[in-house]
Amino acid sequence: GKNDYDLLVIGGGSGGLACAKEAAQFGRKVAVLDYVEPSPQGTKWGLGGTCVNVGCIPKKLMHQAALLGSALKDAQHYGWNIAQPVHHTWSVMAQAVQNYVKSLNWGHRVQLQDKKVKYFNMKGSFSDPHTIRGLTKAGKETIITAENIVIATGGRPKYPTHIAGALKYGITSDDLFWLKESPGKTLTPFVFNVSLECAGFLTGIGLDTTVMMRSIPLRGFDQQMASLVTEHMESYGTKFLKLCFPTKVEKLESSRLQVTWKNTELGTEESDSFDTVMWAVGRAPETETLNLERAGVKTNPETGKIIVDASEATSVPHIYAVGDITEGRPELTPTAVAAGKLLAQRLFGQASELMDYENVPTTVFTPLEYGCVGLSEEMAVQCYGADNIEVYHAYYKPLEFTVAERDATQCYMKMVCLREREQRILGLHFIGPNAGEVIQGFALGIKCGATYPQLMKTVGIHPTCAEEITKLHITKRSGLDATVTGC
């Protein structure tokens, strides 16, 4: 018989909603299933996915709260008389952030309604390639059939279940943003950008925060930049336990948590007590409960992620996947949104444009932000050989730091170019305030195939931090001092 819907999207996050709304524009019958399985600590949230509820949005807002703390200190130097000491109240911030997120949940529901997309607050799983079984919280079942299905269920934080007490006593980013009370003295073991960002803003609002790392920070990112970021965090006040990994978590009578860890450098075992332990050991794709085998959709056995081709199609022709759940794609909101939109345009709008995953810019919102696009230096060396690339770099001082007497030691940028005549830019890396704003436009330039000479022809805007990029001229190869001096 006829399918209920032209398109059924499982997962109402960044990718899923973008795809659904775009498809509805073409007059198609579209439905979205969204369901949030509560975290082990019991946290749950509304429509919108990770980004809106427990990712980018609350993270950036809390990062902003921390930045405002720095601004309060700077302000004194600029003539503002603020009586010391200054306090931060977690609950005021958390309430404000949570209220805003809830307004976004509401906004998404209204949008779906406006665009006539049917929304089911249900957990979906495959019965067969065209049939989805939706289950409400109360256990009520609905069967839905669709011509095309898009899986966009995203991921959830992993727990290191091999560590005693990890699951029982620890929280993850799923819980952090919804805490009603301050997390207090916090430990974040392992160093993905999420944990660094969270540790950063927790420090910024005045909490005693420790990051524990077994090996390198920000795996996959340019390592020189990663160490500058963590160096800054150390001078900012975040504690680092390097070359350590936790072995167990126990609850004390005081209801604090006792964490024991192994120091691989000294070969010793240490412990300390914390109010909160926030795990950030990576995210696992939400595919287990989908019953993918019923539909015949293949996943990568190692990662659990869904394998897709360049058109976002899975091993089953009419079943697609976008976002964090797909194998080999960046785990970023804007790529999921773009992929979702383009997919809808190809399915229903007679478009043929495929998603371009090359040169996707991103930013890590640590206290001193790090924005980048393109290849890391190590990757460029690996792809082209050290002799065939040129790295231009500079240490600079944002003008606003001068009067504020702020340390700019880690304010740094570098551009990785091909050495051959044209000098095409392979990668751009920037650490400093507003790194995201700085990098965005340059990412565009790189998409246009920008070369080093073209960038040098671009006149700078004065006074900004971004203009320093157009002035890069000291190479690493030269060995000269890369500190920028005056106008």
Partner 1 sequence: SVQAHKEDTPQKLLEMNGHTPEPHSYDYDLIVIGGGSGGLAAAKEAAKYEKKVMVLDFVTPTPLGNSWGLGGTCVNVGCIPKKLMHQAALLGQALQDSRKFGWQFTEEVKHSWMTMTESVQNYIGSLNWGYRVALREKKVTYENAYGEFVGPHTVKATNKRGVEKLYTAERFLIATGERPRYLDIPGDKEYCISSDDLFSLPYCPGKTLVVGASYVALECAGFLAGLGLDVTVMVRSILLRGFDQDIANKIGEYMEEHGISFIREFVPIKVEQIEEGTPGRLKVIAKSTKGNEIIEGEYNTVLLAIGRDACTRKIGLDKVGVKINEKTGKIPVNDEEQTNVPYIYAVGDILQDKLELTPVAIQAGRLLVQRLYAGATTKCDYVNVPTTVFTPLEYGACGYSEESAVEKFGEENIEVYHSHFWPLEWTVPSRDNNKCYAKIICNIQDNERVIGFHVLGPNAGEVTQGFAAAIKCGMTKEQLDSTIGIHPVCAEV
Q: Per the annotation, where are the binding residues for FAD?
A: 60, 124, 324
| Span 362-391, contacts to partner 1 by CB under 8 A | 362-363, 371
Q: Which of 12, 155, 165, 361 contacts partner 1 by CB under 8 A?
A: 361
| Span 65-84, contacts to partner 1 by CB under 8 A | 65, 68-69, 71-72, 74-75, 77-83
- Of 264, 283, 327, residue with least CA distance to 192: 283
Element containing residue 104 per DSSP (H, E): helix 90-114
Q: How far is the CB of 396 from partner 1 (least distance, A)?
A: 13
Q: Which of 92, 110, 252, 480 contacts partner 1 by CB under 8 A?
A: 92
Note whether 251 binds partner 1 by CB under 8 A: no
Note whether 259 binds partner 1 by CB under 8 A: no
Q: How far is the CB of 62 from partner 1 (least distance, A)?
A: 8
Note whether 434 binds partner 1 by CB under 8 A: yes
Note whether 105 binds partner 1 by CB under 8 A: no
Q: Name the one range near partner 1 by CB under 8 A: 88-96, 109-117, 159-167, 410-418.
A: 88-96
Q: Is 437 helix (H, G, I), strand (E, B) or coil?
A: helix
Note whether 166 binds partner 1 by CB under 8 A: no
Note whether 311 binds partner 1 by CB under 8 A: no
Residue of 63, 429, 462, 473 marked active site: 462
**Active-site residue 462, yes or no?**
yes
Neighbours of 364 (CB within 10 A): 23
- Of 330, 435, 328, 323, residue with least CA distance to 372: 435
Contacts of 257 (CB under 8 A, 6+ apart): 165, 169, 249, 250, 251, 273, 274, 275, 276, 277
Note whether 1 binds partner 1 by CB under 8 A: no
Closer residue to partner 1, CB minimum distance, 93 or 306? 93
Closer residue to partner 1, CB minimum distance, 127 or 464? 464
CB contact at 8 A, 124 and 290 = yes
Q: Which of 237, 282, 467, 476 contacts partner 1 by CB under 8 A?
A: 467
Q: Which two three-digit tokens encode residue 330?
A: 């960046």
Q: How far is the CB of 316 from partner 1 (least distance, A)?
A: 27
Residue list for the binding site for NAD(+): 282
Q: Name the one range near partner 1 by CB under 8 A: 171-179, 244-252, 315-323, 437-445.
A: 437-445
Note whether 460 binds partner 1 by CB under 8 A: yes
Note whether 90 binds partner 1 by CB under 8 A: yes
> 412-418 and 425-431 as β-strands: parallel, antiparallel, unpaired?
antiparallel
Q: Which two three-digit tokens encode residue 234?
A: 């150390």
Q: Is 208 exposed, middle or buried (0-12, 13-18, 19+ CB in 10 A)?
A: middle
Q: How far is the CB of 324 from partner 1 (least distance, A)?
A: 13
Note whether 457 binds partner 1 by CB under 8 A: yes
Contacts of 210 (CB under 8 A, 6+ apart): 186, 187, 188, 199, 238, 239, 240, 241, 272, 274
Closer residue to partner 1, CB minimum distance, 91 or 409? 91
Closer residue to partner 1, CB minimum distance, 250 or 400? 400
Q: Which of 25, 41, 64, 247 contacts partner 1 by CB under 8 A?
A: 64
Closer residue to partner 1, CB minimum distance, 6 or 324? 324
Note whether 116 binds partner 1 by CB under 8 A: no
Q: How far is the CB of 96 from partner 1 (least distance, A)?
A: 5
**Residue-wise burial string across 11-36, b where 16 or more C-beta atoms lie within 10 A, e elsewhere:** bbbbbbbbbbbbbbeeebbbbbbbbb
Gap between the Cα atoms of 470 and 437, Å rounded: 15
Strand ranges for 243-399 from DSSP E: 244-251, 257-263, 268-274, 276-279, 283-285, 319-321, 362-364, 370-374, 389-395
| Span 331-360, contacts to partner 1 by CB under 8 A | 332-335, 338, 353, 356, 360
Note whether 478 binds partner 1 by CB under 8 A: no
Neighbours of 89 (CB within 10 A): 10
| Span 3-62, contacts to partner 1 by CB under 8 A | 51, 56-57, 60-61
Q: How far is the CB of 420 from partner 1 (least distance, A)?
A: 18
Gap between the Cα atoms of 216 and 220, Å rounded: 10
Instruction: Enter the DSSP assignment of 5.
Output: E
- Active-site annotation, residues: 462
